[in-house]
Structure 1
Amino acid sequence: MNSTERAMQGKREAQLPETGFEIDETTAILIIDPQNDFLSTEGVAWPVVGESVTENGTIENLETLFKLGADNGIHVFVSPHYYYEHDHKWYFEGALEKLMHNIKMFDRGDQLNIEGFEGSGADWLPQYKKYINNKDNVTVTSPHKVFGPENNDVVLQLRKRKVDKVILAGMSGNLCVESHLRELLECGFEVAVVGDATGSAKLPNLDGDLAAQTNYAMLASHVFTTKELVGVVES
């Protein structure tokens, strides 16, 4: 039993109500940080997220979501994470912000400089590029800087597309994905999460994936598995 299944079993045993989530023309998919530094075995975060990503099948499941959107006319939004040179001049950071800066995670020169971007840790995982480059079906928002979407244009882009319902997935589960979930809920969106299309850091005595899956079960309208979501959309 993986973390998603354990969390959902815990929800049932705790008798939390199922609120339901119906997919309609106001529904979009939002994928957080589908980037090399999280999802490539060469990425700087792989040593701590690789176990969770592998257990959940995150890489394959995210590709399934990109394809599901393309094949079924569901618009896909991508919220990336970039750090520019000026971001390294901040006077203070939280623990994980400091770690990300120290290991040069998601680093780029500046907003207008893409030198060295291709194949870097900030770039998309290669198998996702054919989907993300389809601008008719995918919108890439401005980058978020800490964890949530409060300082990028995710909410604006969703509203301008008349999106009311969001299917959320990506990296990392207990940080950026959960932070997007909480903010979107506060902004009045109906939000579901694809639990096995996320992954989180695992450290001694700290299981980010289990924490994330627990909070998804408590906060989201529904927690899908990738297989379940495909079945609902294609039925």
Structure 2
Amino acid sequence: MNFDRDVTGLVMIDPYNDFISEGGKVWDRLKAIAEANHCVPNLERVLTAARASGIRVFYAMHHRYRPGDYETWKYVAPIQKAAWGRKTFEYGTWGGEIHPALVPVDGEIVAQEHWCSSGFANTDLDLQLKKHGVHQLIVVGLIAHTCVESTVRFGAELGYDVTVVGDATASYSEREMQSALEITMPNYATVVTTDDVVAALS
């Protein structure tokens, strides 16, 4: 792997407390897989390596629930109904904050929040990447079989060269991880490990 820092961006997807912190609303569903592959420490390692190498960091965050968001919608996707029912990533709450070890620093870009799964759909992520001259992406975050997979596929459709860090993500089960990382995403991206990326960036 060869990452040119002038054209490469790290895309951090949904590192919310509700996903990856003890006590988060979805943590119990992700915990077994996330702990088995050291997801949170690996997210920290990739972020630290990207910052040290001068690669620009972009955050693609899921919409934070606010009262009234979905009540008047004619069609609500199942994944949105689930977030609505649980009030996942509720705005103004601890669960809707970014994990303290992964908070953006000055100069890092937080794109508009995505409403469903893709970090690109109905947001300014594509615009922000292009305005900063980025066309090679390193993608990490949550959840492998939903937001990560959707963002990776959308990025490939838009012409980006995409690399996914397979042990810096998690899903609800081994089956969903395997489906995302071994069946679907290899059609759109190169799937590598944290060790691979850290070595390449250093």
Quick check: TM above 0.5? yes
User: Which deviates more, 31-40 or 61-70?
Assistant: 61-70
**Structure 2: gaps of 5 or more residues:** none
- Counterpart pick for 1:216 among 178, 185, 194: 185
1:65 to 2:46 alignment: yes
Name the structure 2 match of 1:13. none
1:218 offset after TM fit, Å? 2.8
Identity %: 31
Q: Which residue of 2 aligns with 1:80?
A: 61
2:149 corresponds in structure 1 to: 178
Count of aligned pairs: 197
Aligned to 2:32: 51
Residue matched to 1:165: 136
Task: Give 1:175 deviation, angstroms.
Answer: 0.3
Deviation at 1:70, TM superposition (A): 1.4
Match of 1:96 in 2: 79
Match of 1:226 in 2: 194
Equivalent residue letter for 2:178: L
Distance in structure 2 (CA, Å) of the matches to 1:29 and 1:59: 16
Please, what TM-score do these two structures have when normalized by structure 1? 0.80
Aligned to 1:17: none
The answer to whether the 8 A contact 2:153-2:185 is kept is: no
SS at match of 2:68: helix
The runs of at least 4 aligned residues of structure 1 exceeding 6 Å deviation read none
Which of 3, 6, 9 is 1:28 aligned to? 9
Segments of 5+ residues of structure 1 without an aligned counterpart are: 1-20, 109-115
How much is the aligned-residue C-alpha RMSD, in angstroms?
Answer: 1.4
- State the TM-score, normalizing by the size of structure 2: 0.92
* 1:124 aligned partner, one-letter code: I
Cα distance in 2 for partners of 1:51, 1:94 equals: 27
Structure of larger gyration radius: 1
Distance 1:49 1:55 in 2: 10
Contact 1:171 1:177 in 2 (8 A): yes
Displacement of 1:73: 0.3
- Is 1:187 the counterpart of 2:158? The answer is yes
Residue 66 of structure 1 and its aligned partner are, at CA, apart by 1.4
Corresponding position of 2:95: 121
Over 3 Å counting, the alpha-carbon distance change for 1:164 and 1:147 in structure 2 is same
